């Protein structure tokens, strides 16, 4: 991922005006590209080209990307604990 961002910077793609079309960039896995887009470090211009958003810090991620898995895990464990208790009560 770091090499992809470095390549964008080297090409001068640091604003929407200077964004690079995807076909001119090295190939990157879809999941990795999605991570970069979700983190805000790489953005997509209106034309679909990619550029580095310099104001984003690499460690920053939107709250929704970190909070969602925590809520999903919480709900899973609540169901995993309560379901056997409720089924046991219904059977007896």
Question: Where do the domains of the chain lie?
Answer: 1-61, 63-92
pTM of the model: 0.56
Q: Which residues contact 32 (CB under 8 A, 6 or more apart)?
A: 1, 4
To 10 degrees, the CA torsion angle through 27, 32, 34, 39?
A: -120
Strands in the chain per DSSP E: 42-44, 50-52
Tokens representing residue 70 in the block: 């925590």
Neighbours of 10 (CB within 10 A): 8
The one-digit pLDDT tens for each residue of the chain (92 residues) are 678 888 888 888 888 888 989 888 888 888 888 888 888 888 988 888 999 887 765 555 555 555 567 788 889 999 999 999 999 999 98
């Amino acid at each position: 991922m770091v090499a992809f961002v470095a390549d964008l910077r080297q090409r001068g793609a640091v604003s929407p005006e200077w964004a690079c079309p995807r076909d001119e960039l090295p190939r990157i896995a879809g999941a990795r590209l999605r991570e970069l887009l979700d983190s805000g470090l790489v953005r997509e211009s209106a034309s679909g080209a990619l550029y580095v958003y310099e104001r984003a810090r690499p460690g920053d991620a939107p709250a929704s990307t970190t909070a969602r898995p925590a809520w999903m895990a919480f709900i899973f464990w609540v169901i995993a604990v309560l379901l056997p208790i409720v089924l046991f009560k219904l059977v007896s």
